[in-house]
A = this chain, B = another copy of it.
Amino acid sequence: MTSWIAGVDVGGGGIRVQVRTDDVGLKARDRGPVPRIAGAIDTSRLCGRIGELINSVVESGARPAFERIAVGLTGMPGLVRPAELADQLRLHVKTSSVVVASDSVTTHLGALGGEAGCVVSAGTGAIALGTDHRSTWNRADGWGYLLGDEGGGGWIGTQGIRAALRFHDRRDGGSEALLRKVEHQFGGVSAALAAIYNSPSPIHSAATLAPLVADAAHEDDPVARAIWVEAGRLLAESAFAAARGLPQTYSWGGRLFDAGELLLGPFRDEVLKRSPDAEIRPPQGQAADGALLLAARGIPAGAIAEPYVHEFA
């Protein structure tokens, strides 16, 4: 009998689904934002979209019974009730088991292929997770735009605008290059501030300026370069804190690392400064790959995983 599993990554860029049977792997994605209701994640609408994607890759008529579906998503613990998500998902897909995990876990599984170590994820926010997937679960940062997420995309964008405004005000530490880029993008300083503060999510708007700060850095603006160096250092600091008691194997995930060596260079330097024997590995896969791996192996017997991973069989 054919065995079906599915891994689902729910992120800022949309939903990615991977379905696997004994001999074939299928993929689908959409690009909608994570549906929200009253600040929390709208699990009902979310599961409707997940169900639609999973069913879209399976031949019509053949609705298989899945062995296990694993969903990794942001906002855990806190913004989502895992049991509710599992119940909602069963309205759309037949499955023996649902695993609901923090996206820091699926990113970790994707990056290190299930091995113990530490993975730092940086998108708009930033979090480091060090785990052996059994008894050790160390988290560092991931505390949100106001109180943490140091070195993430929102942090990069806000530091870039702060440097632009410092130049505008003739304060120290300003960057003329960043001011010109911000003015060019928005048509002026007031327009930039209005666009960011009046957007539905100011920190996401600020994070979209990370590539602009990268451009200025590539053009050798020293202030912009220093922002990326500091971001790499902060991410490494979180990674090192989360790696205590674990093999010193490090990797990364998240779209901020698309900046390449601009971020990776300082990250690597700082990890090796703190942990000279560390092995720093490029990620094997993304969060969706990690979710598929989690669907394949489930939670090992005897492992403590909550509140990072929950299984509903």
- Residues of A near any B CB (own CB < 8 A): 39, 77-78, 139-141, 143-148, 150, 158, 161-162, 165, 169-172, 190, 193-194, 196-198, 202-203, 206, 237-238, 241-242, 244
Contacts and interface: CB of A to CB of B under 8 A. Distances in A.
Contact of A193 (B141, B144, B194, B206): B144
A147 B165 contact: yes
Contacts of A161: 147
A197 B241 contact: no
Given A140-B171, A169-B140, A170-B140, A206 B146 contact: yes
A202 B146 contact: yes
Given A147-B161, A171-B237, 10 more contacts: A78-B194, A141-B165, A143-B165, A143-B193, A146-B158, A146-B196, A146-B203, A147-B158, A170-B241, A171-B238
Contacts of A150: 162
24 contacts: A39-B198, A77-B190, A78-B190, A139-B169, A140-B170, A141-B165, A141-B169, A141-B171, A143-B165, A145-B146, A146-B158, A146-B196, A146-B197, A147-B161, A147-B162, A147-B165, A147-B206, A148-B162, A169-B238, A169-B241, A169-B242, A171-B237, A171-B238, A172-B237
A202 B144 CA distance: 11
Contacts of A242: 169
A146 B165 CA distance: 12
A144 B197 contact: yes
Nearest to A77: B190
A203 to B, nearest CB: 7
Given A146-B206, A147-B161, A148-B165, A241 B171 contact: yes
A165 B170 CA distance: 33
Nearest to A174: B241
Contacts of A147: 158, 161-162, 165, 193, 196, 206
- Which 6 residue pairs across A and B have the least CB separation, nearest first? A140-B169, A171-B241, A170-B241, A147-B161, A143-B165, A169-B241
Contacts of A158: 146-147
A194 B144 CA distance: 11
A198 to B, nearest CB: 7
Contacts of A39: 198
A165 to B, nearest CB: 5
Contacts of A143: 162, 165, 193
A190 B242 CA distance: 18
Contacts of A145: 146
Contacts of A196: 146-147
Nearest to A234: B171
Contacts of A202: 146
A198 B224 CA distance: 33
A35 to B, nearest CB: 19
